């Protein structure tokens, strides 16, 4: 930011001296470079110099924002990280105001906020380059469910600050009850969450269905430089370093450093556990469009990795029809009423490795 201001101030001074030569007459011995040669050439900005990361909730965005703060200082780009977390859908006037504000950030910049895709060209404003990261939809849902209730390792009272109005009967609601008894938090349209971030601000983008799914795919292909998946975060960072070196050079070294690891571990959600098989099956069915989109993104991401020579091991998603069928075969017979099931489902919890 200091460098940007320096160039701006120099340009402004040069223009003033050239347009108003009578303001300053050089004395004997003073340089007349500007009179002889005109203002210095404007700084050539790398492309792209306008990047928007409309980060999806509970998809590793806090991890990436911590990295971006360190990178912005290192590479001297302007990082603007909005502290608005609960307003992803905007009126037409709010969209225009936000897009104008983003466009006026001194370049190069990276703007990040939890907000659904904004179509700058619709309002004849220059379209920035978009980036994003998503994750397995059920894992994202579980992380959000428990984070809202119990926060993360940054502080025991973190969740009380974020959801102060939540009553205890809601805070301690069993997730299986929430899913199986069709509570609003665990059913559509609330679980139709990832696709609207890419579909946009159209009201139909919030309705679970093929229209929103296809529009989200089209926007990804036309407007996003990269959409990665959290399950392969190191490869996402590697690709960002290749595609946007003036923003992300050195990001993997920072990410793997002991100091960053210590800081990043504070963002893990606490008290998170896996629902029953029956609840998972119901939830998967409700999120089938989300999974179709996730699989599309994963395929696109693997295709880009292949183009630059990174190998991808083809693995099924954590929660797929095949997985649910296999898990059903491994589920033990129901216990008698007087027995207690004392197991922590280590295998199941091992899938939930990301905050």
Active site residues per annotation: 114
8 A C-beta contact, residue 301 and residue 232: yes
Helix axes 137-150, 288-307, angle to 10 degrees: 110
Specify the residue for token string 């665990």.
Answer: 186
Residue 319: which of 287, 344, 296, 353 has the closest Cα?
Answer: 287
8 A C-beta contact, residue 294 and residue 317: yes
8 A C-beta contact, residue 193 and residue 207: no
Residue 317: which of 229, 198, 240, 190 has the closest Cα?
Answer: 229
Strands 50-53 and 129-134: parallel
The CA-atom distances, in angstroms, between 153 and each of 71, 82, 140, 258, 268 are 24, 22, 18, 17, 6
Q: How many whole angstroms separate alpha carbon 355 and alpha carbon 268?
A: 4
**How many C-beta atoms surround the C-beta of residue 173 within 10 A?**
18
8 A C-beta contact, residue 320 and residue 283: no
Give alpha helix (H) positions in the chain. Answer: 2-19, 33-37, 61-75, 92-103, 137-150, 158-162, 168-171, 175-180, 194-199, 210-223, 233-243, 245-248, 251-255, 258-264, 277-286, 288-307, 321-330, 346-349
8 A C-beta contact, residue 286 and residue 187: yes
């Amino acid at each position: 930011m200091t460098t940007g201001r320096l160039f701006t101030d120099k340009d402004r001074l040069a223009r003033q001296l050239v347009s108003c030569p009578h303001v300053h007459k050089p004395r004997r011995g003073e340089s007349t470079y500007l009179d002889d040669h005109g203002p210095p050439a404007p700084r050539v900005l790398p492309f792209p110099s306008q990047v928007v990361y409309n980060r999806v909730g509970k998809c590793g965005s806090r991890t990436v924002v911590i990295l971006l703060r360190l990178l912005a200082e290192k590479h001297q780009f302007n990082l603007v990280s909005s502290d608005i977390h609960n307003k992803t859908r905007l009126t037409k006037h709010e969209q225009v105001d936000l897009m104008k504000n983003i466009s006026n950030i001194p370049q190069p910049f990276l703007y990040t906020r939890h907000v659904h895709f904004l179509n700058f060209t619709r309002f004849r404003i220059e379209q920035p380059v978009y980036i994003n990261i998503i994750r397995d939809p059920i894992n994202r849902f579980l992380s959000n469910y428990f984070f809202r209730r119990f926060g993360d390792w940054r502080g025991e009272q973190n969740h009380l600050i974020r959801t102060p109005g939540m009553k205890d009967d809601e805070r301690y609601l069993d997730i299986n009850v929430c899913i199986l008894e069709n509570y609003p938090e665990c059913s559509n349209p609330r679980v139709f969450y990832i696709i609207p971030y890419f579909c946009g601000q159209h009201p139909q983008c919030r309705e679970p269905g093929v229209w929103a799914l296809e529009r989200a795919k089209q926007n990804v292909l036309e407007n996003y430089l990269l959409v990665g998946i959290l399950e392969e975060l190191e490869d996402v960072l590697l690709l960002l370093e290749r595609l946007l070196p003036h923003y992300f050079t050195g990001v993997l070294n920072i990410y793997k450093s002991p100091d960053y690891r210590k800081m990043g571990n504070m963002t893990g959600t606490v008290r998170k556990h896996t629902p029953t098989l029956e609840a998972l099956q119901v939830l998967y069915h409700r999120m089938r469009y989300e999974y179709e989109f996730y699989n599309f993104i994963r395929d696109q991401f693997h295709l880009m990795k292949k183009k630059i020579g990174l190998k991808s091991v083809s693995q099924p998603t954590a929660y797929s029809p095949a997985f649910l069928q296999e898990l059903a075969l491994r589920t033990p017979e129901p216990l008698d009423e007087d027995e207690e099931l004392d197991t922590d489902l280590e295998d199941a919890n091992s899938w939930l490795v990301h905050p």
